[in-house]
Structure 1
Amino acid sequence: MAKTEDYEKLSVDETLKALQADMEKGLAPEEAKKRLEQYGYNEIPEKEESIFHRVFRRFWGPIPGMIEVAALLSAVVRRWEDFTIIMILLLTNAFIDLWQESKALNALKVLKNKLAKQALILRDGKFQTVDAKELVPGDIIKVKIGDLVPADVKLIAGDYIQADQSALTGESLPVSKMVGDVAYSNSIIKQGEMLAVVINTALNTFFGKTVALVAKAQREEKSHFQKAVIHIGNYLIIITIFLAAIILITAMFRHEDMLEILRFTLILTVAAIPVALPAVLSVTMAVGAMSLAKKQAIVSRLVSIEELAGVDVLCSDKTGTLTQNRMTVSDPVPFGGHTVQELMLYAALASKEENKDPIETPIFEYIQKTGQTKELTRYQQTKFTPFDPVSKRTEAIVKSGDKTFLVTKGASQVILGLCGEQINQEEILGKVEDFAEKGFRTLGIAVKQPEAESFDFIGLLPLFDPPREDSKSTIKEAMALGLDVKMVTGDNIAIAKQIANVLGIGDNIFDARDLRGASNKELIILGKIISTAVFKKLSPDVSERDTEEFAKGVVKDIEKEFENIELPKGYVKRHESEIISVIEEADGFAQVFPEDKYLIVDRLQKA
């Protein structure tokens, strides 16, 4: 089966042909059944551990084994008080650990039940609702607003959708997708409706690969706590056996009463075993787990508490972890003699509050905060055209008394194109560039009166995903305790640097390509040098400032080009030791995917 990335490079027709899918009729039931047998159910396989196995592994290992030996020896020498106490401690430890794990598993089951359960699918020419687990590659499905995408799909028909894939990639805003684009499993449709063909299911999806990475980490890694306890247990076993051997050999040479010596050896063995250690550790960590539960943290394994306490490098996601995962209006910038109040009023009139659009919601929050809600009620929207990726703007016909006018908001360059030449476009675009470098998303707002030939540009509205109120203080406290905090996000470098600076993490942010050894920094520097030299050669009288501005523009164009192309195979890549060095020195990484996050943690653990 081809990977999701392979289908991204194919056209819609090529994808349908490769999957032998019919866009008009969908799969026949017989074909769907055959593919279900071939690919399996569209669900992440989960091997649920039996209650017997969960109980049994609490009594297996060096320390539990030693305690069980101590109980057995106590029974042999008929010390029933010791036997009773040891068994109570052994069972208490097992019960506490099992109880805490059961609570965590129940909480996780509730979360899993919220995932996609059904899908609208085209089978034999008719749309029908089926369980999402029955989807197979080649199925034609319909995705619409509010849906959780049930598998990796290629969009094949319709206008557009906006998909929130922040849980997968860390991008703070929904991504616009059109025909030919791929939508990932478990992303949420925020706007629009489209037809799509399923290209991968279950563990072959982007989400499935992320789950597989987590499972791999769990299989490969024993916690520091587990290693320490096993080490202590093995050490005590060796010492106990060594001492018992010396006592028995000495007794044999001295012709002592062997029955009495054997009893003494058994007592020594019981005394050497730390029967209370597991119970004390479990109780201590259970108290910690209860404290974390009050802060909405689910502890699925008690040993993870000690493991977290021992970290020296903390890699944190950005969206929803360090930031609030909701857009907020920064400082609006009016132009042409207009005021901030006018700018925000027109921005609200070019929006629809009930749509709950993540871009429009902060506008109405700002209006409520500044007390402009009453003024807004004087106007009435008679027609509203929502945002789409083609026009890149919203538009509304607004009526106020006998007066009717047109208001629009959207991508700054698009809005400027609707306005006349009476405005200073260079000044406005320069401001847009400044906002972009700081990681802001900027909207342009314009109004057109009935008698006017073109729109009147009102101003710019910068938006950003603000940090959580406690993020900066928490990071400062963590750093004071000796933690090296690194931010890892799917957002672009400009946004990552802006948030990292605000939170005091640092601005040494790298592109995820540096993790794969395919850095393009050397080529960008080369581009800057060449563009500066050529510009000076062609315009010898030009100022140093103009030369720098020209080179800066060329570098930006080069960086944009590199976002869409891969470096050729012959290009020399970094050695793994250099990649580890980059990870250690970096304050964070931008434009990362889940496999990149796994790579970062893996390399740091091996460094």
Structure 2
Amino acid sequence: MTQDTDTYAQQSVAETLKALDVDPAAGLTDAEVKQRLEKYGPNEIEEREEPLWHRIFRRFWAPIPWMIEAAAVLSALAGKWEDFVIILVMLLVNAGLDFFQEHRALNALKALKARMARQVTVMRNGITKVIPARDLVPGDLVRLRIGDIVPADVQLVSGDYLLIDQSALTGESLPVSRKINEVAYANTIVKQGEMLAVVINTGMNTRFSSVVSLVARAQLEERSHFQKMVIQIGNFLILITVALVLLIILVSLFRGDELIEIIRFALVLTVAAIPVALPAVLSVTMAVGAMNLARRQAVVSKLTAIEELAGVDVFCSDKTGTLTENRMQVAEPVVLDGHDIPELFLVAALASRLENNDPIELPIFHYIDEKLPDMDLAPYRQTHFIPFDPVRKRTEATIETDSETFTAVKGAAQVLAEMAELPDEEAAIVNTLVDQLASKGYRTLAVGRKPADQPLQLIGLIPLYDPPRPESAQVIADMRDYGVRVKMVTGDHIAIAREVGRLLGLEGETIRSKQLTGSGSQELLTLTSALSAAIYSRLKGDVSQSEARHFADEVMETLEQLYDTRLLEREFIYTHESAIIDMIEDVDLFAEVVPEDKYRIVDTLQKGGHLVAMTGDGVNDAPALKKADCGFAVANATDAARAAADIILTAPGLSVINEATKQARITFERMKSYATFRIAETIRIILFMTLSIVVFNFYPITALMIILLALLNDIPILAIAYDNTRVDRKPVRWNMSELLTVSSALGVTGVISSFLLFYILQKNGLPEELIQTLLFLKLIIAGHSTLYVTRIDDWFWKRPYPSGLLFGATFGTEILGTLIAVYGIFVTPIGWEYALGIWAYALLWFVINDAVKIQAYRILRNR
């Protein structure tokens, strides 16, 4: 058994390595790994799955099942055994359908989660390799770097430091620093640094596991805008139904009807009118969408994200690795006087680590392999390495040879130029070279060599080019066609952003990150003051005319740059939130941004009423991915980005996002169809029943017929999740006034058609029992036909046509209902002649209902 994590924290890493019997230079052997895996098990938290009996039981333990069960008990007490059997069948069918769909959804999620297995860099048998995190065992040596999620409890062996976000474990809002000998816990996130660590506890023995075991948490996803609206519709229908049913009860009691019969009828009517199938339709529709996306290599980690996508009208995309290939290539190197290309790439390679697979460093080694194959790195020993981080913007490595010790540095050109203490003229030349390279879309990497106790010697520049993906421009054009505005958000230089934007068709306004914070106003003030000082100094004679002019020219050049980015034009109104929103809405390209800027951009757009999607791949994208209405982690994203995202792309590029958007809008149309149908049917049934009982003192259908009607309705409703729908060319959102108006118009039209049929049947002197069966058949046929009216906002014969599954489900249940009415199964038989008459009557009103729908949409949209 391994020790408790806290015990390891109290001893040195040397003692830990000895206790775990691991070679710090080579790691574990395959035989040791196999043995420990058998002893400790896989590195994963055992999920407590809900027992099968509990999943079945809870289908019968909720308000709606209680009402059905109470109706069954009351039917048995009243001796209505046919009603009792049908109610029991209805209860079991509803529970069975819900269980079946949940089972499918759970299996789908298990399959999707399996595709999101985390990877970790580990040393075994003296070789660095990448393995699934679940295969880690105590004693494994793992390398942790910025963006990684710590895969197990570990003790830090070597390196400078790690800055770790422990908020998921401890609730601490600020990251904590960890150094050699200290412990880092599983499922915390590396924010800065790079270190080697030894695994001390895995799986159920980690600190994370102990915290999880203390608190039983329900894994409830936050409801989307879409779900909230559907649930509001459900609550609205329940409120109407309960109010009218209470009215029926009061009137019936006043008339002296039998109490037990009244309550039984009221319960049955309530069950039939409220949206019993709402949870099933939601789960089926979302599961279908998730599986469709999985086939296109998009893993959905948060199902509600599919729904949110339907209304997304702004798409913010990271550039590197998302719109571009994230496969840097070296362009033509630039070397400064006194240096050459072999020296440039030698020092660049020494300031890098091949095993890190850093996308900025790999092109250096590829260039050496292709262009400088004779270069020998063996005489050089890298004794200390400081990895890149967003604050320092450089990597440093202490290099030793037999004859000397020096520091190899590579990083941002402006940082190295400052370290090199270049004269103003040389610094200006370097800056000009960087700007020229940036204007061509190159990312420039400066390389320098720092001898002991001397300033940095700048050797040259390595331009790197990350070409756009072949499909990116077309993806962006397709998004525009679907009403989605694309904004590129990048940490790169503004010139690079413009060039890549031009290649992708994003040639709108471009701004720097400092313009998001208003810092440009301060820069403007500073420059204006400096210009005034230069003029004043010249007037006093303190400086020569040429010196004053040179300084003024520099200031004016910077002022022109500010004007070019429209900073002067905008920032005087930046303090107003509406102006900030307008500014960000107008911009297509955001350059030189930091993580806070990405978050601010998403947040500001949301405040402006936009639904925002965001893509990214790095830890710096994680806050914005979490904040966005729908976050996409692209292929090869860091663990932190994957954890923050709602949808994870497993194939390179963004083409699947357009497919996801289409799928989301299809899902929306299906749910809108269901919502319109459900409101219309509730009004049609409950209002007709209430008016018939309260005004005419006539029960138009029996409790048993209501049960049969509800049972037959549930089957085709589920088929809505597979219906063919059109894909809207614009983002779609709920228009409640339109939805309620159209569905109410259809519901009232249905009530009129039912009362007209009731009047005709009574005029012809038909018996009460026969009238009830005829009305029962009419409600079945008319109700199922309403699905064809509500599924599109155009005439029912227009494309897209209904799916075969929907047609089969609706037509099949209508035929079944007809056979029940014709042959008198549990009801009074009516024969084929009356049945065909009801079919003709219902189909006539089907056309009338469609015309009412068309007219309602026209009136609403022409207002």
Task: Give me the TM-score of the superposition, normalised by structure 2.
Answer: 0.42
**In the alignment, is the contact (CA less than 8 A) between 1:322 and 1:467 conserved in 2?**
yes
SS at match of 1:482: coil
Rate the CA distance shift 1:472–1:545 in 2: closer, same or farther, 3 A. farther
> 1:94 aligned to 2:90?
no
Aligned to 1:524: 523
Is 1:442 aligned to residue 441 of structure 2?
A: no
Matches within 5 A, 1:201-220: none
1:346 to 1:27, Cα distance in 2 relative to 1, 3 A: closer
Aligned-pair CA distance for 1:223 = 0.9
Residues in 2 aligned to 1:286 and 1:320: alpha-carbon distance in whole angstroms: 29
CA distance in 2, matches of 1:521, 1:502: 28
Classify 1:111/1:222 alpha carbon distance in 2 versus 1 (closer, same or farther; 3 Å).
farther
- The aligned residue for residue 196 of structure 1 is none
1:300-335 Cα distance to aligned partner (Å, 9 max, x none) = 343321122222233344444444445332454578
**Corresponding residue SS for 1:463:** strand
What are the equivalent positions in structure 2 for 1:68-79 lying under 5 Å apart?
69-70=67-68, 73=71, 76=75, 77-78=83-84, 79=86
Aligned residues: 465
Contact 2:334 2:460 in 1 (8 A): yes
Local SS of the residue matching 1:226: helix
Contact 2:312/2:484 (<8 A) preserved: yes
Which structure is higher in helix share?
A: 2
Encode CA deviations 1:483-514: one digit per residue, 9 max, x unaligned: 23344455666665655555427443342784
8 A Cα contact 1:145 1:192, kept in partner = no
Q: Deviations over 1:539-565 (max 9, x none)?
A: 7689999844454469999xxxxxxxx
Is the CA contact (8 Å cut-off) linking 2:226 and 2:308 kept in structure 1?
A: yes
| SS, match of residue 298 in structure 2 | coil
Q: Name which one, 1 or 2, has greater alpha-carbon Rg.
A: 2
Counterpart residue number, 1:20: none
Give the letter for the 1:114 counterpart.
Answer: A
Aligned AA (1:383): P
| Offset from partner CA, 1:259-290 (integer Å, 9 cap, x none) | 66555544433332344443333223212211
CA distance, structure 2, for counterparts of residue 259 and residue 424 of structure 1:
97
What secondary structure, in the 3-state scheme, does the structure 2 residue paired with 1:383 have? coil
* 1:303/1:143 CA distance change after superposition, 3 Å: same
- Is the contact between residue 327 and residue 464 of structure 1 (CA under 8 Å) also seen in structure 2? yes
Q: Report % sequence identity.
A: 33
Tell me how far apart the structure 2 counterparts of residues 68 and 107 of structure 1 sit (CA, whole Å). Answer: 40
Q: Distance in 2 between matches of 1:457 and 1:395?
A: 17
Partner of 1:246: 247
Return the letter of the residue paired with 2:71. L
- 2:437 & 2:177 partners in 1: Cα distance? 33
Q: How far apart, in 2, do the equivalents of 1:279 and 1:471 lie?
A: 37
Query: Does the C-alpha gap of structure 1 residues 573 and 547 become closer, same or farther in structure 2, counting only changes over 3 Å?
Result: closer
Structure 2: how far apart are the matches of 1:191 and 1:328? 28
Q: How does 1:163-202 map to 2 (within 5 A)?
A: 185-187=189-191
Q: Is the 8 A contact 1:415 1:445 kept in 2?
A: no
In the alignment, what sits opposite 1:143?
158
Q: Structure 2 CA distance, aligned partners of 1:328 and 1:57?
A: 60
1:418-444 deviation per Cα after TM superposition (whole angstroms, max 9, x unaligned) = 9xx9x9986555213433576722346
Distance 2:234 2:555 in 1: 68
Q: Is the 8 A contact 2:314 2:484 kept in 1?
A: yes
Give the conservation status (yes or no) of the 8 Å contact 2:380–2:399.
Answer: yes
Q: Is the aligned partner of 1:228 residue 2:224?
A: no
| TM-superposed deviation, 1:482 | 1.9
Residues 260 and 506 of structure 1: CA distance in aligned 2, closer, same or farther (over 3 Å): same
Q: Deviations over 1:70-106 (max 9, x none)?
A: 4653574411433332222232233234334444555
| Structure 1 unaligned blocks of 5 or more | 1-23, 30-45, 122-129, 136-140, 158-183, 194-201, 204-214, 398-407, 447-455, 558-571
Report the Cα distance in structure 2 between the residues aligned to 1:574 and 1:114, rounded to whole angstroms. Answer: 47
Contact preservation (8 Å) 1:497, 1:509? no
| Secondary structure class of the residue paired with 2:300 | coil
Distance (Å, rounded) in 1 between the aligned partners of 2:46 and 2:585: 36
CA distance in structure 1 between the partners assigned to 2:102 and 2:469 by the alignment? 39
Cα RMSD between the aligned structures?
Answer: 6.1
Give the Cα separation in 2 of the matches to 1:602 and 1:220: 21
Q: What secondary structure sits across from 1:310 in the alignment?
A: coil
The TM-score with structure 1 as length reference comes to 0.56
Structure 2: tracts of 5 or more residues without a match: 1-10, 17-44, 76-82, 121-131, 142-149, 167-174, 181-187, 198-206, 209-216, 387-393, 402-407, 450-456, 539-543, 563-572, 609-863
CA distance in 1, matches of 2:474, 2:326: 18
> Greater shift after overlay, 577-586 or 285-294?
577-586
Secondary structure of 2:190's counterpart equals coil
Q: Distance in 2 between matches of 1:85 and 1:242?
A: 27
Cα distance, 1:186–1:114 mapped onto 2, change above 3 Å: farther
- Are 1:383 and 2:379 counterparts? yes
Are residues 50 and 459 of structure 1, via their aligned partners in 2, closer, same or farther at CA, if it must alter by over 3 Å?
closer
- Asked whether the equivalents of residues 67 and 86 of structure 1 are also in contact (C-alpha less than 8 Å), the reply is no
- One-letter identity of the residue aligned with 2:524: I
Please report how far the alpha carbon of residue 377 of structure 1 lies from its aligned counterpart in structure 2 after TM superposition: 4.1
Aligned counterparts of 1:476 and 1:533: Cα–Cα separation in 2: 48
Q: 1:252 to 1:299 in 2, by over 3 A?
A: same
Paired AA for residue 524 in structure 1 = E
Aligned equivalents of 1:57 and 1:311: distance in 2? Answer: 39
CA 1:465/1:396 → structure 2, altered by over 3 Å: closer, same or farther?
farther
Q: Distance in 1 between matches of 2:314 and 2:418?
A: 46
Deviation at 1:525, TM superposition (A): 1.4
| Letter in structure 2 aligned against 1:82 | M
Which residue of 1 is the match for residue 146 of structure 2?
none
Report the Cα distance in structure 2 between the residues aligned to 1:131 and 1:188, rounded to whole angstroms.
Answer: 16
Q: Does 2:92 align with 1:84?
A: yes
Counterpart CA distance in 2 for 1:105 and 1:417 is: 47
Pair 1:114 & 2:142 matched:
no
User: How far is 1:463 from its partner?
Assistant: 1.5
Name the CA shift for 1:250/1:589 in 2 (closer, same or farther; >3 Å): farther
Indicate conservation of the 8 Å contact 1:323/1:468, yes or no: yes
- The CA deviation string for residues 462-498 of structure 1, in whole angstroms up to 9 with x for no partner, is 1244444443332332233222334445566666565
Q: Which residue identity does 2:104 align to in structure 1?
A: I
